[in-house]
Structure 1
Amino acid sequence: MTLQIDAHTHILSMGTDAAFTKRYGREGSLTIYRAEGKLPSHRCPVDHEWEEIEAAEGKDGFGVVGPHETVAAHPGFDKIVALAVSPQYLEGRLMGTVDVLGQTDVTGEQHPERCNEYIAGCVRAEPERIIGFASVNPAYRGVKAAVDELARAVQEDGLKGVKLYPMYQHWSPVDRDLAFPVLAAARDLGIPVMIHQAGSTRIDAKMELGRPALLDDIGRNFRDLKVIIAHCGIPWIEEAMFMLTKHPNFYTEISYHIATVTRRDLFLFLHRAEPFFVPLEKIMFGTDFPGFLYDPVGLREKLLTVNEEAAVLGLPPIPQSKLDGVMGGNFAALLGLSDETAGAA
């Protein structure tokens, strides 16, 4: 049976300020609605236009999705990776993962500084299905606080990796004072690091901090650290893939990218990986659920049926064992999960 793991999802809310999180969600979906012709492309939409599209789509800003809803949206999946978002200031507002609806067992004041506690609460709510990744921001309270919190999240909360967001939080992933101590801590804790090293439609995100090639210095200095490039570095996909070519300890997951291409393009992407000297064992399935285009079932179907394109293109099919790896086996191997602990039949 094919092991099925979604290596990239988000969960709960992005802040305690409902009006601000709605604006944040609207900014994230604006490019999608513009491309679909549902919102004007030549100017910023006004409130009534947003309200009309949200009523029609049944979505209101950045949706709050809890652990049980996340599992329900992933029928047939063995594991789902829930990623924390560490605290940061955006437009003067503090944002990060919080449990505004009380969907976990974490009590007390709601605050993004407790983002990793909330993710651990999601794991406790669905222990057989959800894998939790922590997040820390060394630019928020300083490097020592970030390193200490990462150690606590792994050793006390049992989280299995860490997600970093340099371009959103305006620090370089190869800053030797800010980033390297966090990377060293992850290495010493024996956990993988997933880095949002890709583009973003968020206006405040710094694109110059998102280039995958920036991670080269990490590959040179942290050769025992498992590094996952999120979103396959989109739009710099070949650059991200070359980082996997160069560095044995680099991997990628294909959320966002998989949603923007046709099944034929996905087949060609996977077919070209090994001639580009990237073993398919380094590539992992992810969705970025609950984003607007990121239906786990539909994206799984796109991946698992790519070989239907082979005959049309006159190319050999991708070996099923390698597709199975992309679907879940590769992530399980990276995290050291056995078939039993991963849930494989």
Structure 2
Amino acid sequence: MDVRRLVAIDVHTHAEISKDGHSSLSPELLKASEAYFKASGHRQPTIAQTAAYYRERDMAAVVFTVDAEHATGHPRISNEEVAESCAEHADVLIPFASVDPWKGLAAVREARRLVERHGVRGFKFHPSLQGFAPDDRMAYPLYQAIEELGVPAVFHTGQTGIGAGLPGGGGVRLKYSNPMLIDDVAVDFPQLRIILAHPSFPWQDEALAVATHKPHVYIDLSGWSPKYFPPQLVRYANTLLRDKVLFGSDYPVMTPERWLADFSGLEIKPEVRPKILKENAARLLGLAVPHAQTREKTTP
């Protein structure tokens, strides 16, 4: 992957459908999600189609699914399939995996295998959908393995469109996605790189507090149009968290075009924009060419 030619790195995109047509969500949850995002009948691109989409736009993308088999009973998309499909498009796609922490030691073994044999570069958790509190010690052996493997962990934070409008929210408990629950994880696994996904409504201040206090906690900006970002999020992105905020779209629910168009109107300092769009992610994912060296090479 030639990072220098990339316009941006999108750290939050979803593999929603497998090669054989299996959806990552049950029909009930998918329909509710489409209604919430006003995206009825939205396209579910294959990973190959996602690669073509990002390649045309000179962007790279992190791709993952969500394994929530324990809480939902719905079979996941294979992590191996995601990794293998991304490997076929390694110029633009970066594979992450999702392992249900309720699977115990089997989850730990799978996480190690996925990184060591399949080139997975990180892991995605959705506590509300997976039905667990991030600070539950049940998940700690899995966190320990991910920390030892030296790859990041992405945690969904804040409200979710999954289950919205269904009776009882489809069984999805919002409390599990309070970013303050991840503070214990950051304390107990101090070398684990953590990404708090999305503006964390209604816990934005909690997310900012954790990210400013814990050196390896980042925030991605996916799932919301930037024009709706809370003012304190914009303020911190411009200042204290300028090296720890990441561009993410939530594709295919939200396209990078819409996100970037709205981001262009945000009052972000010129020197901070490239950090958010590419440099911070490249450094976090181990893809970066040091900025100073880049300047030296391009200066006559």
Task: Give the TM-score, by structure 2 length.
Answer: 0.83
Instruction: Give the residue type in structure 1 aligned to 2:66.
Output: V
Q: Distance in 1 between matches of 2:221 and 2:33?
A: 19
Q: Which runs of 5+ in 2 are unaligned?
A: 164-168
Instruction: Give the residue type in structure 2 aligned to 1:229.
Output: L
Judged with a 3 Å threshold, the aligned counterparts in structure 2 of structure 1 residues 2 and 273 are, in CA distance, closer, same or farther, namely: farther
| Residue among 227, 240, 249 paired with 1:287 | 249
Computing the radius of gyration from Cα coordinates, the structure with the larger value is 1
Q: Distance in 2 between matches of 1:72 and 1:269?
A: 36
1:83-232 superposed matches below 5 A = 83-89=64-70, 93-97=73-77, 115-139=78-102, 142-176=103-137, 178-201=138-161, 202=163, 203=169, 204-232=171-199
Instruction: Give the residue type in structure 2 aligned to 1:126.
Output: H
Q: Distance in 2 between matches of 1:137 and 1:89?
A: 7
Q: Distance in 1 between matches of 2:16 and 2:30?
A: 13
- Whether 1:253 and 2:228 are equivalent positions in the alignment is no
1:332 maps to 282
Q: CA deviation at 1:77?
A: 3.6
Name the Cα RMSD after superposition. Answer: 2.7
Q: Percent identity of the aligned residues?
A: 26
Q: CA deviation at 1:272?
A: 1.3
Q: Deviations over 1:113-136 (max 9, x none)?
A: xx2101112212311000000111
Determine helix, strand or coil for the equivalent of 2:110.
helix
Q: CA deviation at 1:227?
A: 0.6
Q: CA deviation at 1:243?
A: 0.9
Q: CA deviation at 1:72?
A: 3.5
Q: Distance in 2 between matches of 1:160 and 1:234?
A: 27
Q: Deviations over 1:212-265 (max 9, x none)?
A: 1111111211111111011132332121111111111100101013x2x52xx5
Q: CA deviation at 1:269?
A: 4.7
Q: CA deviation at 1:167?
A: 1.5
Question: Is the 8 Å Cα contact of residues 2 and 327 (structure 1) preserved in structure 2?
Answer: no
Q: Distance in 2 between matches of 1:89 and 1:182?
A: 16
Instruction: Give the residue type in structure 1 aligned to 2:281.
Output: F
Determine helix, strand or coil for the equivalent of 2:96.
strand
| Residue among 9, 14, 17 paired with 2:13 | 9
2:273 maps to 323
Q: Distance in 2 between matches of 1:151 and 1:222?
A: 17
Q: Distance in 1 between matches of 2:79 and 2:213?
A: 32
* Deviation >6 Å, runs of 4+: 14-18
Q: Distance in 1 between matches of 2:22 and 2:79?
A: 19
Q: CA deviation at 1:28?
A: 0.4
Instruction: Give the residue type in structure 2 aligned to 1:5.
Output: I
Instruction: Give the residue type in structure 1 aligned to 2:125.
Output: L
Instruction: Give the residue type in structure 2 aligned to 1:65.
Output: P
Judged with a 3 Å threshold, the aligned counterparts in structure 2 of structure 1 residues 71 and 149 are, in CA distance, closer, same or farther, namely: same
Determine helix, strand or coil for the equivalent of 2:251.
coil
Q: Distance in 2 between matches of 1:271 and 1:64?
A: 31
Q: Distance in 2 between matches of 1:159 and 1:153?
A: 6
Question: Is the 8 Å Cα contact of residues 71 and 131 (structure 2) preserved in structure 1?
Answer: no
Q: Distance in 2 between matches of 1:2 and 1:235?
A: 33
1:25 maps to 30
Judged with a 3 Å threshold, the aligned counterparts in structure 2 of structure 1 residues 267 and 306 are, in CA distance, closer, same or farther, namely: farther
1:296 maps to 256
1:68 maps to 48
Q: Distance in 2 between matches of 1:89 and 1:184?
A: 21
Question: Is the 8 Å Cα contact of residues 84 and 134 (structure 1) preserved in structure 2?
Answer: yes
Q: CA deviation at 1:268?
A: 4.1
Instruction: Give the residue type in structure 2 aligned to 1:70.
Output: T
Question: Is the 8 Å Cα contact of residues 243 and 280 (structure 2) preserved in structure 1?
Answer: yes
Judged with a 3 Å threshold, the aligned counterparts in structure 2 of structure 1 residues 171 and 90 are, in CA distance, closer, same or farther, namely: closer
Judged with a 3 Å threshold, the aligned counterparts in structure 2 of structure 1 residues 321 and 32 are, in CA distance, closer, same or farther, namely: same
Judged with a 3 Å threshold, the aligned counterparts in structure 2 of structure 1 residues 220 and 151 are, in CA distance, closer, same or farther, namely: same
1:38 maps to none
Q: CA deviation at 1:147?
A: 0.4
- Whether 1:235 and 2:239 are equivalent positions in the alignment is no
Q: Distance in 1 between matches of 2:82 and 2:99?
A: 13
Instruction: Give the residue type in structure 2 aligned to 1:286.
Output: G
Q: Which runs of 5+ in 1 are unaligned?
A: 34-52, 98-114, 308-317
- Matched pairs, number: 278
- Whether 1:80 and 2:40 are equivalent positions in the alignment is no
Judged with a 3 Å threshold, the aligned counterparts in structure 2 of structure 1 residues 222 and 302 are, in CA distance, closer, same or farther, namely: same
Question: Is the 8 Å Cα contact of residues 245 and 276 (structure 2) preserved in structure 1?
Answer: yes
Instruction: Give the residue type in structure 1 aligned to 2:96.
Output: F
